[in-house]
Structure formats: structure tokens, C-alpha cells
Chain A
């Protein structure tokens, strides 16, 4: 792997839980992200998957600096982003942009599409001339497959898929290097999903984008990503190149996730697969040692006694005492 463009080290986000009648004291924390490290190479797509509450969206928000990490480091292009403020942060935000899940609520309904897309340009004081800016916006609209003549329309005049295109146009307006896509297609119909996924892939090729792709749909992630990190209760359970992860999952949780995906090929599962029982435990009170041991079919004494560390085996890195073999 070439020198990574994004390095994340021991990233932690705890949301405090407070108690108390008048003076609120901290009695605990929701450990949304609890020590996550990974590298992403230039032009690579890294997938983040996991169940609700695994911390994938919180991680994304920290990377985009929408929320501050509790601790840990985010290094982008050799610069540490964790502590920066003001101008440096603004500059970093030019490089890192985000696409959100819900194309309905992430666009201001009172603004025209043109002004939504041009907003980042305006904030960063680029192309101050109205004509040049307008031209750029129309180029962007054309690039994402929107009719540039619809510059003056409002978001509600567009369908869900088109709105997500608007969101993408806004995200690429500043020519970012890192794009964080948080469930970008889960609100869309299947036939439209493919349009947006293809668009993201095209843009990546043209602009050399590095993408962090967050989704709960493992098939979509498989299609989009070069490497995939599986998260469970705020930690990375396994991180591996796409092919390895899907064909030879090392972590039992990865295996269980894959087994749970309903396949549009009837008879594939044959109802023999092991279903993961129960729900995800509360991130405010995660199980000790291996966080997955309460639901794991392979767990034994060591799993509830010692926390497994991420260990490399072949291409995969997994945190498990009993990693699955090929």
C-alpha cells in the first residue's frame, strides 16, 4: 500500500451520561467510538459497516470534524486534524466533504438548488464573480447528471435520486480529496441506488477521490469498496481487503453479518445458516473483554477474560481469539 493519505489513530468518542438533581455529574459514557485506528490510501474506498450503534456514523462525523473526538488523532495528508481550529479547520473542510443519508432533510427546502450547490464556493470565497460561479455550479450539475437548466428550482421539485445528486454536487464543489458518504443510498429505491453508486464510482475515477463509504447494506459495500472495516460496539472487529472479507471472513461477527444478508438468490441460504441471536448490547455498558462474546457462537472462557487485539493474518486484520480459518 502506498503512503496513506488518511491515518486514524485510537479515535475515541464518548458521549457523557449525566445524573444529578441540580449539579449534573458524569456517571458514565456512551462509548460510541472506543479506540479506532485505520489507514486509507489515496484513491481508495474504505467501507465502514456494522449494526446500529456500532459507531460508524460517529466515526464519519469525527473525520469530517462535525463533532470533536474525545481523544485520538486524525492525520490527513500529513496534517493532524484533531486539534485544529479556525482557518486551518476551514481549509481542511475544503479537502474533506460529506454526503448524507437523507436527501430530503439534508437540503434546505427554501433555497434554490443553484444556491445550495454554490454555498461551499461562497463560504470559501471562491469564484466571487456571479457569472463564473454560476457557470461552475452548472458544470457541477451537469457532472452529477442533473439538468443545468434546473438551476433555479427548489429541492422539492426533484425526486429522491436527483436530490442525492444535488447533495453529491455540493460535496464535490470545492474539489475535495476525501469524500465521506454516510449511507448515501439507503433512502433510495433499488433502481435509483445503482445510479448514485455508479456516479460515485465515476467521480472517484475522474477526481482521484478517496472515499469513506458507510452503509449497512453489505452488498452495496462489497460493490463499492476496496477494503472494509467491520465495526462492533465502537471498535473495529475486522478490517480486510474486500475479496478476503467476503470470501474468508476471519471474525465471527463478520461471518454472522454476512450470513444475515438476505440474498436475492432463493435457496442460497437454505435456512441452515447460524443466525446471530439477540440485539446489540448497549454501548453505554459494553461487554468486557471481547465485546462480541455475548453473541458469539465460538466464544469460550478467554473471550470473556481478555480483550483480543487486532492481529494480521494474511490480508485480514481481526480482533478475535478464535479467528476463522479460510
Chain B
């Protein structure tokens, strides 16, 4: 295996707040190779967004503590000085965000904002940069790009704004694009367009893509590998097909069983995960999911499970033996009850 484009090792991020230290990201490791795509899925508070922002130093402040390493093309983003990190931002790694309206400066023309991004990393003359900006708008599928350069963000529709954000992110041909909930604020039809655009750009430009989302549908469409986060940690990482066909972690099971589907029988009751995520200030002892897990044993409340790698390169953090978990899922997938699955997990069936 070649050296990954970005290798995150044991990344932790905590914030000092009035209520105490919030451990938003708690020892997360993942890597991505050039041109690949990784989905990071989690609910609010799982640390997925904070992790992404931290890679670009966007959480740096007097109240934040970051540890671990993030090796990008031979240098560590975590320990890097502000000036060097600035050279990486937008050039090596670009980022787009959830709300394209608030993410674009309301007072500047879209073209000028893209030109500014180009000129942040090179001494490109304004005229050349402007021509390049128009090319970028065309690349992301904005019609009549030359004229649209002079528009303000509020004159664009939601989908066009996100396209403009993507054009801006592409302006210095980054090797990695981090997309943080890029379609959450958009309509489904526009979401489909943006997801397709991101996928096309990744393939055409050989640009790696990290897509951070709460939506399992979005990762299913865009990611090759998926990391599922819960309470600041990765609880499972699998190739996308396996994640849906043979998920390994009880939390992933819960997620898959709680979402309504567009096909298949409809009258089944949804099976929500009971309770809610734990406090990140005083993390419970043992597995953070144990409180909500139907299969938790006494040991789960005492011992912190490690993220273990299986023979086929997948990873999961659960104390229940891997084989039993693999045996339990088919029953659940077929609509079986947790009690049935529990018997399998306990080995009584």
C-alpha cells in the first residue's frame, strides 16, 4: 500500500467551556489515499464536523486543545505553524460547508471571492484569475459563467451557491476536498445534482473526497469507505457496500433500523435507538454506546472497547465477539426483533 494522502492518527480535540472540558473528538484515526472517497457519518455531537475543521486548523483558539497527528503529504497538520497551515488551506486541502448562503461573503461578488481564493496561493494577475474563475464556474455547471462572476451570492439559488463554493474550493486544484454536510440545506433534487457533481469532480480531477454527513443515503451515494462516529470516536469503519449489507457495530445496526426506507415493506414500525448520546464532558466508563445498546453486557460498562481491525480490513469497536455480531445482523436485517438478535449475540441460539 502506498503512503496515504492524509493519515489521521489518534486525533483528539477538546474545548474548554464554562461547564467543563468538552472532549469533542477522542482519539480518532483514519486515512485516505489520493482520489479516494471517505464518508464520515454521525449524529450531531459525534465530533464529525469538529474533526474536519481541526484538520485545517479552523478550531484553533486559546480554548481548544488538539493532540495526535494528521500527516498530509509528509507534514503534520496538527503541529504545523499557522503560516505553513495557511499554505495548505485551500491549496492542499479545500473545504466546503453546510450552508452555502452564510458561507459566502454577502458583500462581495461571487467572481471576486473566487479570484481572491486563486490569488491567495499564487501571484496570478487579476485578468488571468478572472478567466480561471469563469472556467471553474463552468466546470461546476453554472450556466453563463462569465456573466455570473459579477453576481452577488444572494442573487444565486441555493444549489448555485453550493456550486460556487465548490468552484472556489477547486480553484487551487486541491488534492483533498472536505465536504461538511454539503447538501443538508438543499432540496433533494438539488442535493442529487451536487452529489453527482462531487463524484464527477473526484473522478475527473483525481481529488480525494471526505464527505461528512448525518445522512446514510448521502454516504451510500458518494463514499467508498465509511467511518461511523459516535460520541467523538469511530465505532465502525467499513467499505460502503459492507456497511449496509453487513454492519458490524450495534450503533450502525440501530441507525440502519431507525431510518424509513423508500422501498420494501412500509408498515413496519421504525425502531428508534432509545435514549440519547452521552455527555462529552463526563464520558461514561466503558463503551459510550452501552447505555443505549440492547446487547450490552456488564463488561461493556466497565471496559472501553478498542477499534479492532478484522481480517478483511474493516474496523469496529465492540466488546461482543466479532463472529457473534456478524451472525446476529441477518436476523435484524430481515426485520427480526432485538430479542432474537440478542440470543445470537449471547450465543444461546
Q: Give A residues with C-beta under 8 Å from B.
A: 51-52, 159-161, 189-195, 197-198, 201, 216-220, 222-224, 242-243, 246, 256-269, 271, 275-277, 279-280
Most buried by B among A258, A266, A268: A266
Q: How far is the CA of A26 from the CA of B2 in the complex (A)?
A: 66
Most buried by B among A190, A219, A243, A261: A190
Q: Which residues of A contact B160 (CB under 8 A)?
A: 279
Q: How far is the CA of A10 from the CA of B320 in the complex (A)?
A: 59
Residue of A nearest to B185 (CB): A52
Q: Do A261 and B262 touch (CB < 8 A)?
A: yes
Given contacts A190-B215, A263-B262, A279-B158, could you give 15 more A-B pairs where the C-beta distance is less than 8 Å? A51-B189, A190-B258, A195-B272, A195-B274, A242-B266, A246-B263, A257-B188, A260-B192, A261-B217, A262-B195, A264-B261, A266-B221, A268-B220, A276-B192, A277-B193
Q: Do A192 and B262 touch (CB < 8 A)?
A: no
Q: Do B192 and A191 touch (CB < 8 A)?
A: no
Q: Do B220 and A266 touch (CB < 8 A)?
A: yes
Q: Do B240 and A198 touch (CB < 8 A)?
A: no
Contact of A219 among B189, B214, B260 (CB under 8 A): B260
Q: Do A190 and B259 touch (CB < 8 A)?
A: yes
0/1 per residue, B256-297, Cβ < 8 Å to A? 101111110010011111101000000000000000000000
Residue of B nearest to A224 (CB): B260
Q: Do A219 and B270 touch (CB < 8 A)?
A: no
Give 17 A-B contacts (CB < 8 Å), ordered by A residue: A51-B189, A189-B214, A191-B254, A192-B276, A198-B270, A222-B260, A246-B263, A257-B188, A263-B220, A264-B220, A264-B256, A264-B261, A266-B240, A267-B241, A271-B199, A276-B189, A279-B157
Which positions 238-265 of chain B face chain A at CB distance < 8 Å?
Answer: 240-241, 244, 254-256, 258-263
Q: Do A264 and B192 touch (CB < 8 A)?
A: no
Check B159 for interface membership: any CB of A closer than 8 A.
Answer: yes
Contact of A257 among B158, B189, B196 (CB under 8 A): B189
Check B44 for interface membership: any CB of A closer than 8 A.
Answer: yes
Q: How far is the CA of A263 from the CA of B188 in the complex (A)?
A: 11
Contact of B269 among A198, A246, A262, A279 (CB under 8 A): A198
Q: How far is the CA of A210 from the CA of B111 in the complex (A)?
A: 50
Q: Do B266 and A190 touch (CB < 8 A)?
A: no
0/1 per residue, B165-208, Cβ < 8 Å to A? 00000000000000000000001111111011001000000000
Q: Do B195 and A266 touch (CB < 8 A)?
A: no
| Distance (whole angstroms) from the CB of A44 to the closest CB of chain B | 15
Q: Which residues of A contact B215 (CB under 8 A)?
A: 190, 262
Q: Do A189 and B43 touch (CB < 8 A)?
A: yes
Q: Which residues of B contact A275 (CB under 8 A)?
A: 189, 192-193, 196
Q: Which residues of A contact B240 (CB under 8 A)?
A: 266
Q: How far is the CA of A218 from the CA of B269 in the complex (A)?
A: 17
Contact of B255 among A52, A191, A216, A271 (CB under 8 A): A191
Check B318 for interface membership: any CB of A closer than 8 A.
Answer: no
Check B209 for interface membership: any CB of A closer than 8 A.
Answer: no
Q: Do B276 and A219 touch (CB < 8 A)?
A: no
Q: Which residues of A contact B270 (CB under 8 A)?
A: 194, 197-198, 223
Q: How far is the CA of A310 from the CA of B72 in the complex (A)?
A: 58
Q: Do B276 and A161 touch (CB < 8 A)?
A: yes
Where chain A touches its partner, the secondary structure class is helix
Q: How far is the CA of A264 from the CA of B271 in the complex (A)?
A: 16
Q: How far is the CA of A224 from the CA of B258 in the complex (A)?
A: 13
Q: Which residues of A contact B56 (CB under 8 A)?
A: none
Contacts known (A194-B258, A219-B259); A261 close to B188, Cβ less than 8 A: yes
Contact of A52 among B187, B195, B266 (CB under 8 A): B187
Q: Do A260 and B188 touch (CB < 8 A)?
A: yes
Contact of A218 among B44, B221, B254, B262 (CB under 8 A): B262
Q: Do B266 and A256 touch (CB < 8 A)?
A: no
Q: Which residues of B contact A256 (CB under 8 A)?
A: 189
Listed from nearest, the 6 A-B pairs whose CB atoms lie closest are: A262-B217, A194-B272, A223-B260, A260-B192, A194-B270, A189-B43
Q: Do B159 and A266 touch (CB < 8 A)?
A: no
Q: How far is the CA of A210 from the CA of B157 in the complex (A)?
A: 35
Q: Which residues of A contact B256 (CB under 8 A)?
A: 264
Contacts known (A219-B262, A263-B220); A190 close to B188, Cβ less than 8 A: no
Q: Do B159 and A264 touch (CB < 8 A)?
A: no
Check B70 for interface membership: any CB of A closer than 8 A.
Answer: no
Q: Do A279 and B190 touch (CB < 8 A)?
A: yes
Q: How far is the CA of A11 from the CA of B262 in the complex (A)?
A: 30
Check B216 for interface membership: any CB of A closer than 8 A.
Answer: yes
| Distance (whole angstroms) from the CB of A197 to the closest CB of chain B | 6
Q: Which residues of B contact A259 (CB under 8 A)?
A: 192
Q: How far is the CA of A268 from the CA of B216 in the complex (A)?
A: 13
| Distance (whole angstroms) from the CB of B253 to the closest CB of chain A | 11
Q: Do B260 and A197 touch (CB < 8 A)?
A: yes
Q: Do A279 and B159 touch (CB < 8 A)?
A: yes
Q: Do A191 and B158 touch (CB < 8 A)?
A: no
Check B218 for interface membership: any CB of A closer than 8 A.
Answer: yes
Q: Which residues of A contact B241 (CB under 8 A)?
A: 266-267
Q: How far is the CA of A22 from the CA of B37 in the complex (A)?
A: 57
Q: Do A246 and B255 touch (CB < 8 A)?
A: no
Q: How far is the CA of A220 from the CA of B261 in the complex (A)?
A: 8
Q: Do A190 and B255 touch (CB < 8 A)?
A: yes
Q: Which residues of A contact B217 (CB under 8 A)?
A: 261-264
